[in-house]
């Protein structure tokens, strides 16, 4: 019998993909007609095999021997380059891209499941291709045919990698304060001058070239975010024949040294310093405008929204592998004696710690977080597939509305609660878990980045309550409410325990709608948004309870240990987690202004 994977549970992936989300039904649509369950399973098998053999094997070394900069070059592990070469040869990078761009045309739901293996195995090395994929998708949506041919095809082949360059040292997440400028030249190119900070994958020699997508200002444009334009700035210029030309004027000034996620270079980049590289004999990084001037942020959101869901997927995967490792440890580690037997007979044999109720509680909590997060992310990916392949424009638009309102939750809920799963995994290991000899310590440090990057937890709260919940006169929230109502109807029809679990979910969703209205009834954004992070957390728990009710229903009458475990995790979430939202909704309904009214001098 094969040893179960400690990256993800394949049984859970199969259950969520096929039994709950019915991904197989997509193959009856023209968009995915060339695929079948066999091709999906082959892709999952291949992903697990490559992740286990080529990514997981250098995960700890990635952490211990992080990339370094010698003043000229950035150095990375040879093992990372080897793993990325195998990944590129597999074709998985282009799995969900349309065939016209050299992709496999696979459903996004299956691709998300496949890529989760790589996040779980080695989040540092896997970040390079996943940033690249987001870059490629943006250019396919908004770039010219020439830009797609020049940059996207080599990226999907794994020869070029991509980044997104938004933040600057003085601006951080405040993109209205971006100062990098782009000056047009007679040949239609631009020269960029400025500094970008926190650029993941910003410099390395893991690929032939790096394609930077850079937000900058064209002089004379409007102030704030409305004046931002988007540019392709390659590390090496690319000739008409696709060959690499001279080095562009974009160089690393240094690398940031992170608490975790150390395998991914994170750079401070200078554009246009003109000291070491002067393409065409002139200072300034050569850039190519994407789309129209001053629409850069709108284009960049195409990549940012995908990256936010990707951050949630990475957080889920780190939580999931930590859960599986703590579960194995709990089954193997003997310590103590059961309380039911008095626990004081020193002559009695010790029992595995999984026999202790509090350890089972911690494992059950982890299970509810990571399997719930996986469900949320696969559901969001299924909405992307609906946008691509649903029969009617109405169905596609509805999927888009749902995805818009769920994106901040898909980013932040796994980032918060799968980090908590990692904390519990350390606790299950006891003192051993706090040492570098065990993986769970690194998983926690790696995961701690996820509530920060691609829009902090607070930014996601502002997005959900300040934009997504009220956009189009609340259409997105209504669409989500209709989806929740559909699951509640099925639970009521099923009767029994499913109907009983549905009752608190129905009440919680009613509070989502009434509290949202209460927060906005005075039309004062400062008061409404003062507790937006609390709103994000409360709504997130309600949404994940809905995900769990759907999974509970999908277990049907099955009675093996896996399905029993599914139902028990759902019970745990409804009994121990959903009730957390009651006090949060009470706080929100009171229009609490304690934080808003706190003078900075008092802190």
Token pair 């065409």 is found at: 280
Mean pLDDT of 287-293: 98
Cβ proximity of 545 and 578 under 8 Å = yes
Vertex 416, ends 411 and 417: CA angle to 5°?
Answer: 110
Phi, psi of 184 (to 5 degrees): -75, 145
Confidence (pLDDT) at 473: 94
Nearest to 235, CA basis, from 354, 73, 459: 73
Does residue 2 carry a pLDDT above 60? no
Phi, psi of 164 (to 5 degrees): -130, 125
Of residues 417 and 96, more confidently modeled: 417
356: pLDDT confidence band, cut at 50, 70 and 90? very high
Rounded distance between C-alpha atoms, residue 280 and residue 285, angstroms: 10
The residues, ordered by sequence, that sit 6+ positions from 491 with a Cβ below 8 Å of its Cβ are 498, 499, 501, 502, 549, 552, 553
304: pLDDT confidence band, cut at 50, 70 and 90? confident
**Dihedral sign computed on CA atoms, order 260, 214, 99, 205:** negative
pLDDT, tens digit, for every residue of 509-536? Answer: 999 999 999 999 999 999 999 999 999 9
**Among 454, 482, 497, 589, the one annotated catalytic:** 454
342: pLDDT confidence band, cut at 50, 70 and 90? low
Confidence (pLDDT) at 315: 98
**Dihedral sign computed on CA atoms, order 363, 366, 370, 375:** positive
- Range in 163-177, 350-364, 425-439 the model is least confident about: 163-177
pLDDT, tens digit, for every residue of 496-516? Answer: 999 999 999 999 999 999 999
Rounded distance between C-alpha atoms, residue 56 and residue 521, angstroms: 51
The residues, ordered by sequence, that sit 6+ positions from 560 with a Cβ below 8 Å of its Cβ are none
Cβ proximity of 588 and 538 under 8 Å = yes
Token pair 């728990």 is found at: 541
Rounded distance between C-alpha atoms, residue 410 and residue 146, angstroms: 34
Confidence (pLDDT) at 341: 59
Confidence (pLDDT) at 347: 82
454 is catalytic: yes
Alpha helices, H only, 143-198: 145-147, 153-156
554: pLDDT confidence band, cut at 50, 70 and 90? very high
Cβ proximity of 262 and 62 under 8 Å = yes
Does residue 3 carry a pLDDT above 80? no
pLDDT, tens digit, for every residue of 249-283? Answer: 999 999 999 999 999 999 999 999 999 999 999 99
Does residue 1 carry a pLDDT above 70? no
Nearest to 419, CA basis, from 459, 364, 358, 366: 366
Alpha helices, H only, 270-356: 296-332
Token pair 């980044």 is found at: 163
Cβ proximity of 454 and 304 under 8 Å = yes
Rounded distance between C-alpha atoms, residue 470 and residue 521, angstroms: 12
186: pLDDT confidence band, cut at 50, 70 and 90? very high
The average confidence (pLDDT) of the chain is 95
Rounded distance between C-alpha atoms, residue 52 and residue 50, angstroms: 5
Residue 557: exposure state from Cβ atoms within 10 A (0-12, 13-18, ≥19)? exposed
Cβ proximity of 156 and 101 under 8 Å = yes
């Amino acid at each position: 019998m094969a040893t179960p994977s400690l990256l993800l549970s394949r049984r859970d992936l199969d259950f969520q993909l096929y039994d709950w989300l019915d991904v197989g039904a997509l193959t009856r649509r023209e968009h995915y007609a060339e695929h079948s369950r066999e091709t999906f399973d082959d892709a999952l098998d291949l992903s697990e095999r490559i992740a286990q053999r080529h990514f997981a094997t250098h995960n700890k070394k990635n952490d211990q021997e992080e990339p370094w900069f010698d003043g000229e070059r950035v150095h990375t592990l040879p093992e990372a380059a080897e793993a990325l070469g195998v990944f590129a040869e597999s074709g998985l990078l282009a799995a969900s891209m349309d065939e016209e761009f050299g992709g496999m045309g696979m459903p996004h739901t299956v691709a998300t499941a496949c890529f989760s293996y790589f996040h779980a195995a080695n989040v540092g090395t896997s970040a390079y291709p996943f940033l690249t994929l987001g870059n490629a998708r943006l250019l396919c949506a908004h770039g010219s045919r020439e830009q797609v041919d020049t940059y996207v095809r080599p990226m999907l082949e794994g020869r070029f990698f991509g980044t997104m360059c938004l933040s600057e040292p003085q601006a951080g997440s405040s993109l209205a304060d971006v100062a990098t400028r782009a000056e047009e030249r007679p040949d239609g190119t631009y020269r960029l001058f400025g500094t970008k900070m926190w650029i993941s994958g910003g410099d390395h020699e893991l690929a032939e070239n790096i394609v930077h997508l850079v937000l900058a200002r064209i002089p004379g444009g409007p102030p704030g975010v409305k004046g931002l334009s988007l540019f392709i700035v390659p590390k090496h210029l690319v000739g008409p024949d696709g060959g690499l030309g001279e080095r562009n004027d974009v160089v690393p000034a240094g690398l940031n040294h992170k608490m975790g996620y150390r395998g991914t270079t994170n750079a401070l980049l200078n554009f246009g310093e003109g000291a070491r590289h002067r393409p065409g004999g002139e200072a300034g990084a050569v850039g190519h405008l994407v789309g129209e001037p001053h629409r850069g942020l709108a284009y960049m959101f195409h990549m940012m929204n995908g990256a936010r869901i990707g951050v949630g997927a990475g957080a889920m995967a780190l939580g999931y592998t930590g859960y599986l490792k703590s579960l194995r440890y709990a089954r193997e580690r003997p310590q103590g004696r059961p309380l039911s037997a008095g626990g004081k007979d020193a002559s009695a044999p010790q029992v595995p710690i999984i026999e202790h109720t509090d350890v089972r509680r911690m494992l059950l909590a982890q299970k509810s977080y990571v399997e719930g997060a996986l469900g949320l992310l696969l559901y969001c990916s299924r909405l992307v597939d609906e946008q691509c392949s649903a029969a009617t424009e109405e169905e596609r638009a509805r999927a888009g509305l749902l995805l818009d309102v769920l994106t901040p939750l898909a980013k932040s809920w796994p980032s918060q609660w799968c980090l908590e799963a990692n904390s519990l995994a350390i606790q299950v290991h006891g003192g051993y878990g706090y040492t570098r000899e065990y993986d769970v310590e690194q998983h926690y440090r790696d995961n701690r980045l996820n509530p920060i990057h691609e829009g902090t937890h607070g930014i996601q709260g502002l997005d959900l309550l300040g934009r997504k919940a009220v956009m189009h006169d609340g259409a997105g929230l209504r669409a989500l409410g209709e989806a929740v109502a559909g699951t509640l109807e099925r639970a009521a029809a099923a009767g029994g325990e499913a109907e009983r679990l549905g009752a608190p979910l129905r009440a919680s969703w009613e509070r989502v709608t009434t509290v949202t209205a209460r927060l906005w009834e005075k039309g004062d954004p400062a008061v409404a948004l003062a507790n937006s992070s609390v709103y994000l957390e409360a709504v997130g728990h309600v949404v994940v309870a809905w995900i769990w009710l759907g999974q509970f229903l999908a277990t049907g009458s099955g009675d093996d240990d896996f399905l029993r475990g599914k139902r028990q995790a759902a019970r745990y979430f409804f009994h121990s987690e959903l009730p957390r939202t009651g006090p949060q909704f009470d706080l929100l309904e009171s229009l609490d202004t304690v934080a808003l009214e706190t003078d900075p001098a008092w802190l």
